[in-house]
Structure 1
Amino acid sequence: MRRFVAITIAAIVIAPLVGLILWSGARSWPYPDLLPAEGTTRGLDLVTSSGSWEALVTSVVIATSVAILSSIIGLPAGRVIGLHRFRGRRLVQLCLIAPVIVPGIAVTLGLQVFFIRWGLSESILGVVLVQLVLTVPYAATILGAAFEGFDVDLERQARVLGAGAWRATTLVTVPVLAPALAASALLTFLISWSEYILTLLIGGGQVQTLPLMLFAAIGSSDSTAAAALGLLVVAPPVLLVVLISRLLRGRAGLLIGMVRS
Structure 2
Amino acid sequence: MNPRQAIESQKDINKALYLPKKTELAVNLIHAFIKNNNILGLKLAILLSGARSQITYDNENKVHFEVEELCKLLKTDRRNLSRNLKKICSTQYTYVTLEGQAGMTTPIHSYEYYAKSTKIWFEISSKGKELFSELGKGGYQFTKCISENLMELKHKHSLRMQLFLELVNNYSANVGKRIKMSKDDVNDYFGTNYANWYEIERKILEPVRSEINTASSLTFRYDFTIVKNQGTGRPKFDEIIIDVVDNSESLFALAHIE
TM-score (norm 1): 0.25
The structure that is helix-richer by fraction is 1
Larger radius of gyration: 1
Relative contact order, CA 8 A, sep 6+: which one is greater? 1
